[in-house]
Structure 1
Amino acid sequence: MILELADIRIHPGQNTAFDEAIARGLRDVISHAKGCQGYKVNKGIESPERYVLQIFWETLENHTVDFRQSEAFTQWRGIVGPFFAAPPVVEHFDLVVKSL
């Protein structure tokens, strides 16, 4: 399993609208992507314009090729992109240890 970690910063005062948009984008677009095994989003307490998005992919290529090179990526960015104050910082991670 591959973890995609996206550090997202949105424009101030847009939290309510972004919360709805990211939930819709995850539900309507990301959840249907090849290899998507789940996701979660956390919002900063000290920095409420900062969000951490975690998407769990079966393989790295499911994100970097199958999703990023698809029309679904364009749909996703159309939903959430207008809220971005800067491009998200995205990194990928391999699972080392898991607690049940």
Structure 2
Amino acid sequence: MILEVAVLQVKEGLSDEFERDFKLASAIISSMKGYRGHELQKCIEESHKYILLVRWETLEDHTEGFRGSAAYMEWKKLLHHYYDPFPAVEHFMNVDIS
């Protein structure tokens, strides 16, 4: 499993609208092949900062499947105008430490 991590800096004063639209966008991402779950966390110290965690079966399910889909265009239309700066997205895999 792959964990996608993005720190989202939402433009000041738009948090309520962002959260509303993110609920709509959640239906989009959750319908994608390889999707395993996601969560959105809001920063306590900076109320316009969020962290998005998305679990994917494979890296390609995100980078090729989702990002290459028509559904991603809808996701982008709903959410990308809220960010400043545009978020860096990184991918992580579990480390077996047992």
2:89 paired with 1:84: no
User: Partners in 2 of 1:71 and 1:84 — Cα distance?
Assistant: 21
User: Partners in 2 of 1:70 and 1:81 — Cα distance?
Assistant: 16
Equivalent in the alignment of 1:40: 39
TM-score under structure 2 length normalisation: 0.93
Query: What is the root-mean-square deviation in Å for CA atoms of aligned residues?
Result: 1.3
User: Partners in 2 of 1:31 and 1:51 — Cα distance?
Assistant: 19
How many percent of aligned residue pairs carry the same amino acid?
Answer: 36
Equivalent in the alignment of 2:5: 5
Equivalent in the alignment of 1:74: 73
Q: 4+ residue runs of structure 1 moved beyond 3 angstroms?
A: none
Q: What amino acid sits opposite 1:23 in the alignment?
A: K
State the 1:24 CA deviation.
Answer: 1.3
Equivalent in the alignment of 1:17: 17
Unaligned runs of 5+ in 1: none
State the 1:96 CA deviation.
Answer: 2.3
* Greater displacement, 31-40 / 82-91: 82-91
Unaligned runs of 5+ in 2: none
Q: Name the count of aligned residue pairs.
A: 97
